[in-house]
Amino acid sequence: MKYKVLLICAVCYFSSIYAVWQELPNMNFRSLRLLALKDAKNIWRLADGTMYKWENNNWTSKGKVSEAARAGLFVDLSVGVDNAAYVMVYDERSEETNIYRFDGMSSRKVHTLKGGATAMAAVNSNNIWINRVELDGSNIRKAMGLFHWNGKTWKQRGDGSFSGIKIGRDGVLIGIKDMTMLMWDGSPRKDWRKLYTFSQTYATYAPGNPAVVDKNNIWIVNTSKASQFYNPYQWNAKRKTWIRRGGIRAAQVAAGRDGTILLASFTETGPSGEGNFSILKWTNKPAQIKKEHTVKVEKREPRAS
């Protein structure tokens, strides 16, 4: 039996995707309380009681919120689909929680609620979620539960006390409660579903705000056994675990409905803790990789008679 051996050499090009944190130019600042965005064109931050919007390549002041927003313990920020920024502030002096709306041109108070609140998420002026509590000074005395504003009235939609809530573009609500991350798809017939319970040892920042694009794209900043600093983590919904996305010293992470992920990173510049914040963007970059493959093919020929 005879065999003919052919060597076929092929050169293949294929594209691979890798992700990196890319620092955005000219967005550095010295003070930050909260960062939020609707998309890459609608980015807001709260600092020293003042709202700022990134426009015309500059952080532009859009007005003062209140003294409580500068020094208060319970403050939260969301950017709605209407491009407006919603700020929740608990005022310890009046023992009230106020919600303000900034549209870039003007601002107004849209809600005043008796008692305290620890977290808020806003889609628009007719779709706002808030976690209400009874406070004794700065201490939580009693959890009142999660409430939803439907444009006409507030209705309770959950028990317990959430330390962070955010809504994805798919309408799914993600909340952090008692070191556990929960999900609710908005259906009145379904309860909150547990996604993950954080470690008491290393997840010291778990009681905070998640950053949510949708139910499959969730981010937090957290500590780990391997790092003493806060690092960015992305939720892997398939494996039900967190993946650390770089050893960056992170302060906050925020997500937009277009999939934009922004990270506020702090760098100390002095011995007393002073420093600067920079904004980093999670970016998927294509890279063309060249590989040579040698393929050995054996072709069998019939024996000559």
pLDDT given for residue 229 in this prediction: 66
Vertex 200: Cα angle to 198 and 206 (nearest 5): 50
Mean pLDDT of 276-283: 94
Give the residue among 173, 213, 181 at the shortest CA–CA distance from 198: 181
Give the residue among 185, 186, 165, 163 at the shortest CA–CA distance from 174: 165
Q: How confident is the model at residue 274 (pLDDT cuts 50, 70, 90)?
A: confident
| 14-37 confidence digits (pLDDT tens) | 344 456 899 999 999 999 999 999
What 3-state DSSP class applies to 258?
coil
Residue with tokens 């808020």: 120
One DSSP character per residue, 263-304 reads: EEEEEE-STTS-EEEEEEEEEEEEEEEEEEEEEEEEEEEPPP
Q: Please count the CA atoms within 13 angstroms of the CA of 301 that sit on its side-chain side.
A: 8
Q: Please count the CA atoms within 13 angstroms of the CA of 168 that sit on its side-chain side.
A: 20
The pTM score is 0.83
Alpha carbon of 166 to those of 123, 173, 191: distances in Å?
9, 6, 17
Q: How confident is the model at residue 206 (pLDDT cuts 50, 70, 90)?
A: very low
DSSP state of 29: B
Phi first, then psi: give them for residue 239, nearest 5 degrees: -90, -10
pLDDT given for residue 190 in this prediction: 65
